[in-house]
A and B are shown apart, each in its own frame.
Chain A
Amino acid sequence: MPPYAIEINELRKVYPGVVAVDGVSMSIPAGECFGLLGPNGAGKTTLIRILTTLIKPTSGSAAVGGYDVVRESARVREIIGVIPQAMTSDLDLTGFEILDIHARFFGMKKKERAGRIAELLHLVGLQDRAGDLVATYSGGMRRRLEIARGLVHKPSILILDEPTIGLDPQSRHVVWDLLEKFMATDLLTILLTTHYMEEAESLCDKVAIIDYGKIVALDTVDGLKKQIPEKDVVELTVSGYDLQAAASSVRTINNVTSCALTGDTLIVSADNGAEIIPVLVDALKRLGALVRRVTLKEQTLEDVFIHFTGRPIREEEAKKVSFLLGAGVPTKLSR
């Protein structure tokens, strides 16, 4: 495995009237979990489909596991495991059949398949339902099965496109736990796209924010938070002391960037709100003030996102529908 599991260089994909991917360059080191964060229609799925050889780029190049996605697409498909955004398991097959047939697509031998499938079914908690038709599964179960399917041939790179979209919060947490388990046990590089901030924050070592087909920011989650001027905010409701004097002395505390006063509440901006709360409470106590209530508003990835893209992530854009073909057809045009 080369040092970079995925290397993308000036990649562009142009559809008539739309630039879906607009000059993306980035590298993802082997063994890392990398998140691609962006609103619907930002170009995440197109980028993933180019990396998984389903779409040919207009220009630029990309290599997955050291293989070029256009010239060596067959080699790329051997080493990647992909969990597409839409549910793609056949409803007329059983869970076991889905995994077994998929493993055979990769030329796995019978003995090897049996062991791997049993192991994965156990991990995703479907061992008791493996003989049932997928049509009888819930959305969360079907997603877990598809994660197992993506891993059945022991890929070195796992690519997930919106793995928890449309799932209820409980199933979403189950999927996150699963991914963490796989990251811990297998030496996997993971690339996932999401528009759930919590997902990126809890899973990813590094995050790239993509908007209108361009990478607008790329760093660790903490690194990205540091890049924006907005800080964590601690609000303290205080009584029994001169509030003006309290505010002045709070401003002298290390890491506090500002302190304002509204009514009986001190509004403190700081780099790391959670760590500074005990320091603030101690200082006010020593002054003789009574702290009656403390709230912390931590800076989130959402703030980072709004900072870089100028809009919240869940804002939807109108989708284009073909005049001639109607809504049922052109999935390939949806970014």
Chain B
Amino acid sequence: MNRFLAIFERDVRKFVRNPIVVMVSILMPLVYLVIIGNSMQGELKRLPIALVDMDKGPEAIRLTALVRTIESSTGSIRLFETPDESLAMQGVRDGLYKAALVIPPGFSRDISRRSAAQAGLFLDNAETVSSATIQSALAKAFAGFGAETVKIRNERAGLAIEMRPIELYPKFDYDQTLIPGVVIMAIFLGAMMTGAFNLVMDRFLGVDESYLLTPLTKRDIVMGLVASGLIITTIIAVIVLFFSSLISGLRLWELLSPGSAALTLVVIILSTLGLQGMMFIIMGRINHPRIVGVLGGFLNVIFFFTSGAVYPVESFPPWLRSFASVNPESYSVHALRALLFKGAGFSAVGGDIIFLASFSVVTVAVGIMLFKRTL
């Protein structure tokens, strides 16, 4: 026990002697919160569209007015009237506009004759997300247009099904819903920079020789490093949780009961332990920090974006869903979301906690097994 604690103390002392690392590991996830919260807002805004009216007839003016209404009401598009079709197309190709809406000559005439009238929409479908948004925004305008022109008698109008969204939980801002992801990112970065990484640095500097030459067992070394990483990372994650709530205006102290606060801490600790163990498996035999740098960026992206922190896991294709189902971060995000926003109890997050606990036990055990006690 004393030997394990000596490794633990050595590691913690070394870490706190680098206060800049401590500060950066708290600041980075918070910056992520601000950047992701402002760059990936749920709905797209201000997508530029070129409008070419070659008809100038009354129907064309009416269509333009309807599109203008969409522009001013949802703000998802911005119209730029362009005199000439080829100029508009060039603008789309150059990336000046996300789409061009062309009202051809004879549009009004066709409508007055009740024959099929067509307006052309040229989409920059290299940007799938924005083109989907434009299509749905313009569809609304076209639907309004059709409803006015073709007056259909609808006898069942009284039975029309109206959808009224009912929100189950208090309303949360988009950047508040990112908090579980930000916390798990803090845990990932912490796990990346402590524990196994210190082993890599010791190896790189040749310092590992000094403790390999002592009676320390594999278990003493790995558990000591895991324990120090666990303490440091848990503290960082709790601080990040606190500050990200402050930044996004989430009143944790009102939302969390003592029970769910305790469960939140358990989830944070188990997520940290699991990731620490995983890092020991992945980095256990690496001896150059540059390899860790390359791996770190890569692993962060795959674990973070498949965790459901920014996009729901349910919408992934099946192969990615099966990866998400073994990604410990998915369970952490799920549990944190339930605890922070829904005030859930153990019954809602028990499965997550069991998965994270088993993941931790397995990864730490395998990490110890794989650790090489010779040079």
Residues on A close to B: CB < 8 A?
Answer: 49, 52-56, 74, 77-78, 80, 82, 84, 86-90, 92-93, 97, 101-102, 104-107, 133, 149, 325, 328-329, 331-332
Contact = CB atoms under 8 A, between A and B. Distances in A.
Nearest to A133: B17
What 7 A-B pairs are tightest by C-beta distance, nearest first? A104-B6, A105-B214, A88-B210, A92-B14, A86-B206, A92-B17, A82-B213
A49 B375 contact: yes
Given A77-B215, A101-B6, A107-B215, A328 B13 contact: no
Contact of A86 (B7, B14, B209, B213): B209
Given A90-B207, A104-B3, A328-B288, A77 B213 contact: yes
A118 to B, nearest CB: 19
Nearest to B5: A104
Interface of B: 2-3, 5-7, 9-10, 13-14, 17-18, 204, 206-207, 209-217, 287-288, 290, 374-375
A325 B374 contact: no
Nearest to B290: A328
Given A77-B214, A105-B216, A93 B374 contact: no
Contact of B209 (A54, A74, A328): A54
A64 B216 CA distance: 18
Given A97-B13, A133-B17, A328-B204, 11 more contacts: A54-B212, A77-B214, A78-B215, A84-B213, A86-B206, A88-B207, A92-B14, A101-B6, A104-B3, A107-B3, A331-B375
B10 A93 contact: yes
Given A55-B375, A104-B3, A107-B3, A93 B213 contact: no
A101 B288 contact: no
A212 B215 CA distance: 31
A107 B217 CA distance: 12
Given A54-B209, A89-B207, A92-B13, A105 B375 contact: no
Contacts of A331: 206, 287, 375
A121 B288 CA distance: 34
Contacts of B207: 88-90
Contacts of A78: 215
Contacts of B7: 105
Contacts of A87: 206
A96 B209 CA distance: 19
Contact of A149 (B210, B215, B217, B288): B210
Given A55-B374, A93-B14, A97-B13, A105 B3 contact: yes
A74 B216 CA distance: 8
A133 B288 CA distance: 25
A108 B145 CA distance: 87
Contacts, number: 79
Q: Is the interface of A mostly helix, strand, loop or mixed?
A: loop
B94 to A, nearest CB: 44
A89 B210 contact: yes
A97 to B, nearest CB: 7
A92 B215 contact: no
A18 B204 CA distance: 23
13 contacts: A53-B213, A84-B210, A88-B206, A89-B210, A92-B18, A93-B13, A97-B13, A105-B211, A105-B214, A106-B215, A107-B3, A331-B206, A331-B287
B14 A54 contact: no
A332 B375 contact: yes
A84 B209 contact: yes
A53 B213 CA distance: 8
Contacts of B374: 53-56
Contacts of A328: 204, 288, 290
Nearest to B287: A329
B213 A80 contact: yes
A255 to B, nearest CB: 48
Contacts of B3: 104-105, 107
A89 B13 CA distance: 14
A322 to B, nearest CB: 11
A97 B217 CA distance: 21
Counting chain B CB atoms within 10 Å of each CB, the highest count among A101, A107, A332 belongs to: A101
Contacts of B2: 104, 107
B12 to A, nearest CB: 11
Contact of A105 (B6, B204, B288, B290): B6
Nearest to B220: A105
A56 to B, nearest CB: 6
A54 B375 contact: yes
B147 to A, nearest CB: 68
Contacts of A80: 213
A77 B290 CA distance: 32
A224 to B, nearest CB: 30
Contacts of A88: 206-207, 209-210
Contacts of B206: 84, 86-88, 331
A328 B292 CA distance: 14
A55 B375 CA distance: 6
A149 B213 CA distance: 11
B270 to A, nearest CB: 29
A332 B203 CA distance: 10
B213 A54 contact: yes
A325 B291 CA distance: 10
A332 B209 CA distance: 11
Contacts of A74: 215, 217
Contacts of B216: 105
A80 B212 CA distance: 12
Contacts of B204: 328
Given A80-B213, A84-B210, A325 B17 contact: no
Given A55-B374, A55-B375, A88-B207, A101 B213 contact: no
